[in-house]
Structures are given as C-alpha cells and as structure tokens.
Structure 1
Amino acid sequence: MSVSPSTESAADPRRVRAALLRKVAGSPEMAALGAAMARVVGMASSDDRGTQDLTRYVLSDAALTKRILRLVNTVRYRTASGMAVTTISRAITLLGFDNVKTTALAMLLVDGLAAAPADDPHARRVRVELEAALCASLVGGELGHASSWPAAEEAAFAALFKNLGPLLVAVHENERYLEVQALAAAGEHTPGQAARMILGCGYEALSEAVLDAWQMPAAMARVQAPPPDGVLPVALEREEWMRQVAAFSLDVARLLGRTHDPAGTPEAQGLLERYGIALGLDAACLEALFETVASSLAGLLQSMGLQPVPRLERRDGKEPEGLPNVLLLATLGAGEAEEQGVHPSGKPRNAAELLLAGVQDVTQMRACGERKANEIMLAVLETLHQALGFRFAALVLKDVRTGQFRARASFGLEDKGIQDGFAFPSAVPGGARDIFHLALANDADLVITDAHAPRIHDLLPAWHRILLPDAASFVVLPLVVGKAQLGMFYADRTVEAPEGIPPDETALIKALKVQVLTALGCAPGV
C-alpha cells in the first residue's frame, strides 16, 4: 500500500531541505564524522609519509585496528603461508594503501551512524542503505584499479558517498525516507523526482551539499551529480569518468542488494546498455565484477561483525514481520574474545606472543621480496608499540646532511610536534654523554623501568626532559652496524614498568632488530 507524502513536506519542501541539512551536516556528531572522513580522504599515498600517517591514524582507534586486522585475515586476503597478519603496516602492504583508506572510511561511516534508533524496521532501513554504500565503494574500487586515469583510486570514495543522501535521510528523517520510498514505489515518479518533491532536492544534491559542509575536496562533491540519461559515451575528462563510475557503482550495489544471482537478469542487461561503452564492460566482465564484489562485501561485513541484510527485506520496499534487528551498530564488539590482561604499566601480559607474531610478519615481508627498508622499520615500530604497550614509540635515524639523529616515524601521540622535536646531535659539545649517546656508543639495548631514579634522571638530556617530561619508563634500542650508528628505536610509558622485559621477549626484540639491520644493509643511504 502506498503512503502519500505528508502535507507539511509536500507543501514546503524548502523548509524540509533546510532543516534536513542542519541535522545531517550541522550537528556536532555529524561535523565530527565529516572532519574524520575528510582527514582520511586527504591522506596522500605518494610517499612513505602517507603510509605512516594512515598507519598512525588506524592505530589511534583500537576498534578500527581490530577490524582492519580481521579483514586482512579473512580467507580472501589470507597469505599463502597461513600465518596471521598482526600489524597494520603489513595489512596496508597486503590490502593496498587505497583499500585500507576506503575501508577506514566505510568503518567511520558505520560508527558514525551507531546512534541510529534501534527499533527493528528503522534499523533495517538504515542497514540496507549502509550496505549499499559499502558495496558501491567496492565496485568503485575495482573499476579504479583497472583504470588508467590519474588518481583513479578516488572512484571508491566517490562511490561510497554516492549513497550518502539516502543513508543520512534514513538515519535522521525516517518518516521522510518512507515518504520518498512510497512515492517512488507507486510507479509514477523516479526516486530522484520523489526525493525532490518530498525533500526539496534530489539525493545527489543532498550528498553534494553534505560533502561541501564537511569540506571534502570540491571535485568529490561535484561527481555526485547524476550523469545524463541514456547510453553513456566514453568520458573525455576524469571528473566525468568519476561521475559515471559513482552512478554505476550504486546501480550495481542496488542490484546485488536485491538478488544473489544478478548475472543475466534484465537489470544487468540494462547496466551493460547504459554503462558498457563508457566503462569498457561486457557481459563476462560484469559477471566477474558481481562475483568479486559480493565476495569482498562478505569479507568487509565480517570484519565489522555485521551480517548481510536478507534480500527478502528489500523487495518492493516491504519488510516482513518478526525479523531480528540486524543493525546492532552500537555493539560491534559483541561476541569478541575478552581482552588479554595487562600489567599495571599497560604492557600486555601476552607480550611474547605478540612479539612473535610481529617477528613472523616481518620475516614474511622480507621472504616475499618486500624489502623496502621503510616498510620493514614501520612494521617493527608498530610491533614494539602494540606488543609492549607503549604510549609513544619512535624510529630515530641519523640524517647525514645535518649530522643529527631525528625521529622519522612515530606511533602513539597525535601531536606532530613531539615527533619533530625528537632530535639531537650526533656529537655532543664538550664530549658529555647522555643516555642516548651512551646507548649508541656501546650498542646497548636499554630498558629503563624508572626514569625518575636520580642516576637515570641525571643522564637524560635537557631536550628529552622538556619534550617528554612525563616519560616514567622507556626503552632505547640502538641500530648499529660495525661502528656505524644508524639510529635507534625509542618507546616510553607515563608509568613505571617494574615487570621489565624477560629473556624470551628480549630474544624476540633482538630478532626484530636483526630484520631491520638486514633491511638497512640492503638499502644504502637510508
């Protein structure tokens, strides 16, 4: 049975549009979501700095870290050796920088909608739109990987945002969402026309307005506009290609949301007729795309602890009675194993197990020919930070141009000034030796359980006492080959760590150092 639009919304759609924009883009919660998503979109992938920034961003969110690691350890991505991946650095190597960025965006979107009302019908509607957005991003990613357009990976982001309008309306204006659905289901209006009548603007225009409010790149907002009707020609500009991909991706997502076997259906044939020439697709390519995206979506939902929405719920907008609430966005961690215990210092009690997993990870990276020194060092730094529970960990390398040791990468503190400030000269005027120069000169791994002890405090340089005044315990792991002092790993806590580092953990840390030194030896000039 169709539902007619309410008198208020039909009579004054402009008022509805203004109120809707204030709610979906202007609230503090939505503004925070937009800022987080804009930050991820803005991360450049052209150099090692981008990888470091993405790794640090993921590690700053424990839930996001778990989900990325769950994803990379699903059957689709599991390594040939069968060993579990335990570091985000390794996950980025296996999944790809852009895949991890897209996944992080998708998970931000999921978490940002955790406050949706939990009544079953409403929650299912939100889940249908959310799953369509996630599926569209996977379609866009596949087309981006196969494209020769510059920065084609952004197609995944554009496709994810293509369904932002319906998704946010489903979350924040459920009654309006139902009115649009009912008006379109009556058959006299397209979904776009129905949205304009009820909301005062089409869903694409709403998505574009929200992205503008979130200060996303202007091009990302512009490509939300629908392409012309009919058969689409090959795009002459990247932005037009992105617009085609975003529209196609959502159309594919809607089709996959209605049926488990879309190949050969009239809808699939319609997609080929409209998009085939523009995107270089034939029936075989489209069928392979359906299979790949369906598999990827299953893995993505699994990594988030979500079950796919049953297809039966989506036919003609009807919802069967008595189905369980499958949203559960506020309890994504439900059913996970309880966290391992930690010492009062914050060090995990299973540190040896985590260190061993890190050693295996790094060993496999090198065995597979992934010998880029910076990737190896980032993976080791991440392992030390996570496995031993440090609040701040830094990789410090000698800059041959300035004669200084400087932190080149760090995890644990968002303040970039900390990493930039972690620098000291390779030679101290007057020959005075502090704790860092002594460790380097003697190639001695130091475990300082109480940095406030007078004899230790006296050996701390002034720059360290100013930069990290609350460091109560720390480790220094020099990287020395022969007489060449290459740098060190540094990591600290704000509390004392009387448990120290037992022999089994010490052996694993030394094994990690050997991997780094070997990688540095294979990369002269680092």
Structure 2
Amino acid sequence: MAAVPPAAAAAASPIQDEQATRRVRAALMQKVCGEEEMFALGSAVARVIELASSDDQGTHDLAYFVLSDLALTQRILRLSNTVQYRTVAGTVVTTVSRAIALLGFDNVKTTALAMLLVDTLDNGAHAGAVRAELEASLCASLVGREMARLSFYQGAEEAAIGALFKNLGALLVASHEHERYREIRQIAAAGKHTPAQASQLILGCSYDTLSAAVLAEWKIPDVIVRAQAALPAGTLKVAANRGEWMRQVASFSLDVARLLAKVSDPAGSPEARALLARYGAAFELDAAGLDQLFANVAEGMQGLMESMNLQPLAIPEPDEGEGLPNVLLLATLDAGEEEAGAHPSGKPKNARELLLAGVQDVTQLRAGGTARLNDVILAVLETLYSALGFRFATVCLKDARQNLYRARVSFGEDHARVQAGFSFPVSANGPGRDLFLLALENDADLMISDAASPKIRELLPAWHRTLLPDAKSFIVLPLVVGKARLGFFYADRAAVAPEGVPPDETALIRALKRQVLAALAAG
C-alpha cells in the first residue's frame, strides 16, 4: 500500500490527492475488517457490548461468555483478586459470578473488551508500538470508568467503552500497517501537524474517523461510534446532552492516557494544566480532582496489568527511535495458569479444592447481605460446572402456571438449545418410574456415574433420552424446602465417571446446595 509523502501531496492536484487517500483508506479498511481474525474480534466485541445489564439474564450471559474462554476467565478472576479488590472481597474470589458481583457488571464487560483487544492485536512483529497503543487504550478505558462514576447521566458506564475504542484507529494501523503508522508519527513529531492531521495526510482519514468506521462495520451501537468524533479546539463547555458528554469523555480519556505514559509525575505538570484549561469547565474538574483521577487510574492500571500477568518488554523494538512509555508495557500474554490434571471423564483431580473455594465464595456472597437469589443460584451452578468438569449444567425451577419443571439458566455445550428443551411435567405422565421425579419426591441427591447402566436407563424419561442422548454421567440435586419441591440442579458429561464422588466432595456439594436452600427459604 503506497502512501503519498507530504511533499508530493502538496504538489498533487486535489483530485489526485483525494483518489490516492481513498485508495489507502479503502485498502486499510478491507485489511482490518476483512481478515478472519478481525472479523472474529468484531463479532466478539459486538456480542459483549450487546449484553444487557438490566436483568439477571444479562449477568448470566456475561458469566457464560467469560467462562467460554479459559484465558479470559483466569484474567477476570486474577483482577478480582488483586490488592485493589481483595480487601473489599475479604476472601479469594473463585467464580466469575462472584467476580461480576464484586467488580460490577460494567467493569467486567469493559475489561473483557480490553482483553479481547489485547489477545487479538498484540503483535510480536512490532511489539513496542502496538503494545504502547494497547496500553493507551486500556488506560483510557479506566479514565472513562472514573468519569462515568462521577456522572449523573443514566447509562454513563458506556463512556468507558467509548474511551476504550477512542484509540482503535491508531492501534489498528500500528498492528496492520506499521509503515504507515511510522510515517504518521514522524510527521506529527516534526511539530507542524497534529496526529489527526498527520493521519489524514497518510491514510486519507483521521484516526478518529477510522475508529468510527471500524466500529460501525462491527455493528457497534451508534452512541459509541459517535463518541469517536473529534472535538473542536480550545476550551470546552459543559455538554448539552449525553452523546456530547461521551465524546468529551472519550477525548479526555485518551489525552490523560497519553499524559500518564509520557510523564511519571503528572500532578501539577504543564501538561496537566493544559488538560484543565481544555476540559476543566466541561467536567467541573479542578486540580485536586484531576490529581485524584490520576491516582485512581494509576492504581487501576496496576491491578489490570497484574491480572493479566503483564511484564515489561525485554527487548525494545529496533525501529522505534524513542524509549518505551514509563508505565509497564504489555507483554505476550500466557494462556493462563497450568491446569490441574483431570480424570478421563473430564472431572478435575483437584475437584475438592475447587468445590471448597466455591463454598467459601458463595458463603461470602451471601454474607454481604446484598446478593439476590439469582446471584446465589448462578454462583453455585458455575461452581458445579467448573469444579466437577461437566459438559452441561443447569438449574430447573418449577413453573406453577405451566405445571412444569423448566431449565432457567445454564452453562456449557450447546446450552441455549438444551435449555430450551429441558422441561417436563411436575407429575408422572405415563407408565413407569421417572428418575427426576423420584429424586424430587425423596429429596435424594443422585450422582450417576454410568447412565448407560440398564437399571438407570429404564428410569430415564423419554424427553431426557431424546434431548441428551449422549449424557453418560450426571448429577441431580433436588431443591426441596419443607414439602415444596422447587426444582433441582442438573449437570452431565459425555463420558462415564467411574471415579465417582468421594464423601468429602459430596459434603461440599451439599454445602453448596444448602446455600441455595437457605436463600430460597429467606426469599
């Protein structure tokens, strides 16, 4: 992809210049949006952003999204166990559900988006430049979060997402068109052009315009796309509406991120005074407030980088003419901690330790006094699913209107389809005995190690054999309060589990169930 050098651009006709820049811009858009990896990133980003926070299903969907990626799960858990949050939690956090309750839905959502960017765009070929831009994006998202916390606008948390993507254009060019990125930096470094003007010369559009174009291609909501638009020069006034406020926050957030990367002690610096002169009136922000924001963001960056096992780059990029930013740079991310061994069934060999941690986690969740019933159920379900290595796990609750037991939330393989079909009448419908109804009638916790056993097979209802024909082992944990049969936990594997469930694990599983029963009784 050939770019028009600044001198040549000056001599070219307006028509020639526009044609050249259009070619550069179109080729870049096709490259950053057409690659399979980038298409997958865009789809994942759009999926995370669309997750709603207004109801319990949104929390469940976010937890499932995180759990579907082992590395993402480990990083979210690390973040919730960093010093910044550990003192709040009091105990080690072991489930994503608890992490969401502790960190907040929107915080986890934005962090997951940031980690998606890191995983996809971290580029060893140009590590110094790409990771510096990644760091700016991560830092900007933390600034946006701080500004949202201070705002009176409803849905202000979206500002953190807008801020995260404010640097997307520069990040994509650094990763996919590094020569163009270097040219833009060289022009801007000469002092006669701003980065926006330099990128306009080389790409045919500013970084802000490129960010907005890519987000629009990814079908990101308009309010976030519009937040990427450049602001007018000079002192800004208080925003007239939420959309204008989000534009101001996105721009301010990236400016703060650039300052923190450049100046080790920004408080009272000329750059900080320039920020106040431009944004102070708009955000009703004074020097003390700005200094506190610097401190909060620096602490947040430390926790975020710790959660991702981030290290400084050992070798600087040879073609960069300047040192790396002062804040720790991102390093190649590992795939997470080494997994414990597992039985052939998929059950972890350290199931007892994982169950114990889950019991402590759920106990802490309930002890906080603010957990809802669905929060407790979700945390217990996640613990069973992860600690025992199940393929699919769900909780079924009684639907009094339909006179059915119906799956309400689930984790695992093909969970949406299985959950939709997982329902059956509350009383026997036809001849023969039904394993699920027998478990409920007798309040008996069942751990079936081989579902193909003839005596077990004849007790399985037709709906289960049809819906889950390959379930080779499973558990059923009835939820009975007094004489009320409220439902049950169910989880299965596609392999037999001859290792069974020893007494210590059984005790912990029942301890988890008691937490749900206590929450049901209290509710």
Normalising by structure 1, report the TM-score: 0.93
| Separation in structure 2 between the aligned mates of residue 382 and residue 18 of structure 1, nearest angstrom | 45
Contact 2:432–2:459 (CA under 8 A) maintained in structure 1: no
Partner residue, 2:389: 389
| Separation in structure 1 between the aligned mates of residue 334 and residue 24 of structure 2, nearest angstrom | 33
| Separation in structure 1 between the aligned mates of residue 416 and residue 338 of structure 2, nearest angstrom | 33
Alignment of 1:232 onto 2:236: yes
- What SS is found at the alignment partner of 1:298? helix
Alignment of 1:30 onto 2:38: yes
Alignment of 1:245 onto 2:253: no
| Separation in structure 2 between the aligned mates of residue 296 and residue 428 of structure 1, nearest angstrom | 56
Alignment of 1:78 onto 2:89: no
State the shift of 1:59 in Å.
0.5
Alignment of 1:318 onto 2:326: no
| Separation in structure 2 between the aligned mates of residue 148 and residue 26 of structure 1, nearest angstrom | 39
Partner residue, 2:515: 515
State the shift of 1:332 in Å.
2.1
Contact 1:4–1:179 (CA under 8 A) maintained in structure 2: no
Partner residue, 2:127: 123
| Separation in structure 1 between the aligned mates of residue 487 and residue 141 of structure 2, nearest angstrom | 41
Return closer, same or farther for 1:6/1:327 CA change in 2, 3 Å cut-off: farther
Match of residue 272, structure 2, among 237, 251, 268: 268
Task: For 1:91, give the aligned amino acid.
Answer: A
Task: For 1:348, give the aligned amino acid.
Answer: P
Alignment of 1:161 onto 2:127: no
Q: Output aligned runs, 1:310-459, within 5 Å.
A: 318-320=321-323, 328-329=331-332, 331-333=333-335, 337-430=337-430, 432-459=432-459
Alignment of 1:301 onto 2:309: no
Contact 1:166–1:177 (CA under 8 A) maintained in structure 2: yes
Partner residue, 1:192: 196
- What SS is found at the alignment partner of 1:450? coil
Normalising by structure 2, report the TM-score: 0.93
Partner residue, 1:66: 74
| Separation in structure 2 between the aligned mates of residue 287 and residue 309 of structure 1, nearest angstrom | 28
Contact 2:405–2:425 (CA under 8 A) maintained in structure 1: yes
| Separation in structure 1 between the aligned mates of residue 471 and residue 177 of structure 2, nearest angstrom | 49
State the shift of 1:79 in Å.
3.8
State the shift of 1:370 in Å.
2.8
1:151-186 deviation per Cα after TM superposition (whole angstroms, max 9, x unaligned)? 110000000000000000000000000000000000
Contact 2:392–2:415 (CA under 8 A) maintained in structure 1: no
State the shift of 1:433 in Å.
3.0
- What SS is found at the alignment partner of 1:77? helix
Contact 1:126–1:170 (CA under 8 A) maintained in structure 2: yes
Q: Output aligned runs, 1:14-29, within 5 Å.
A: 14-29=22-37
State the shift of 1:308 in Å.
5.3
Return closer, same or farther for 1:506/1:125 CA change in 2, 3 Å cut-off: same
Unaligned runs of 5+ in 2: 11-16
| Separation in structure 2 between the aligned mates of residue 453 and residue 41 of structure 1, nearest angstrom | 45
Contact 1:9–1:199 (CA under 8 A) maintained in structure 2: no
Task: For 2:69, give the aligned amino acid.
Answer: D
Return closer, same or farther for 1:8/1:106 CA change in 2, 3 Å cut-off: farther
Alignment of 1:146 onto 2:150: yes
Return closer, same or farther for 1:126/1:371 CA change in 2, 3 Å cut-off: closer
- What SS is found at the alignment partner of 1:459? coil
1:101-145 deviation per Cα after TM superposition (whole angstroms, max 9, x unaligned)? 00000000111114x2x24xx210001100000000010011112
1:10-59 deviation per Cα after TM superposition (whole angstroms, max 9, x unaligned)? 86222111111111112111111000000000000000000000001100
Alignment of 1:464 onto 2:464: yes
State the shift of 1:305 in Å.
1.6
- What SS is found at the alignment partner of 1:474? strand
Task: For 1:244, give the aligned amino acid.
Answer: Q
Alignment of 1:179 onto 2:183: yes
Partner residue, 1:499: 499
Task: For 2:133, give the aligned amino acid.
Answer: E
Return closer, same or farther for 1:428/1:60 CA change in 2, 3 Å cut-off: same
Task: For 2:347, give the aligned amino acid.
Answer: K
Contact 2:312–2:330 (CA under 8 A) maintained in structure 1: no
| Separation in structure 2 between the aligned mates of residue 9 and residue 512 of structure 1, nearest angstrom | 69
Aligned residues: 509
Return closer, same or farther for 1:301/1:80 CA change in 2, 3 Å cut-off: closer
Contact 1:128–1:309 (CA under 8 A) maintained in structure 2: no
Alignment of 1:136 onto 2:140: yes
| Separation in structure 1 between the aligned mates of residue 8 and residue 462 of structure 2, nearest angstrom | 68
- What SS is found at the alignment partner of 1:78? helix
| Separation in structure 1 between the aligned mates of residue 496 and residue 117 of structure 2, nearest angstrom | 38
| Separation in structure 2 between the aligned mates of residue 467 and residue 504 of structure 1, nearest angstrom | 32
State the shift of 1:466 in Å.
1.3
Task: For 1:293, give the aligned amino acid.
Answer: V
| Separation in structure 2 between the aligned mates of residue 79 and residue 479 of structure 1, nearest angstrom | 33
Return closer, same or farther for 1:234/1:416 CA change in 2, 3 Å cut-off: same
Task: For 1:385, give the aligned amino acid.
Answer: Y
Root-mean-square deviation (CA), in Å?
Answer: 2.2
Contact 2:405–2:426 (CA under 8 A) maintained in structure 1: yes
- What SS is found at the alignment partner of 1:227? coil
Alignment of 1:222 onto 2:230: no
Task: For 1:22, give the aligned amino acid.
Answer: Q
1:240-288 deviation per Cα after TM superposition (whole angstroms, max 9, x unaligned)? 0000000000000000011221110111111111111111211111100
Task: For 2:73, give the aligned amino acid.
Answer: T
Task: For 1:482, give the aligned amino acid.
Answer: G
Return closer, same or farther for 1:80/1:160 CA change in 2, 3 Å cut-off: closer
| Separation in structure 2 between the aligned mates of residue 400 and residue 184 of structure 1, nearest angstrom | 67
Return closer, same or farther for 1:346/1:401 CA change in 2, 3 Å cut-off: same
| Separation in structure 1 between the aligned mates of residue 305 and residue 331 of structure 2, nearest angstrom | 13
Match of residue 57, structure 1, among 50, 65, 74: 65
State the shift of 1:218 in Å.
1.8
| Separation in structure 2 between the aligned mates of residue 9 and residue 364 of structure 1, nearest angstrom | 64
Tell me the percent identity: 62
Moved more, 410-419 or 461-470: 410-419
Match of residue 117, structure 2, among 89, 105, 109: 109
- What SS is found at the alignment partner of 2:83? coil
- What SS is found at the alignment partner of 2:485? strand
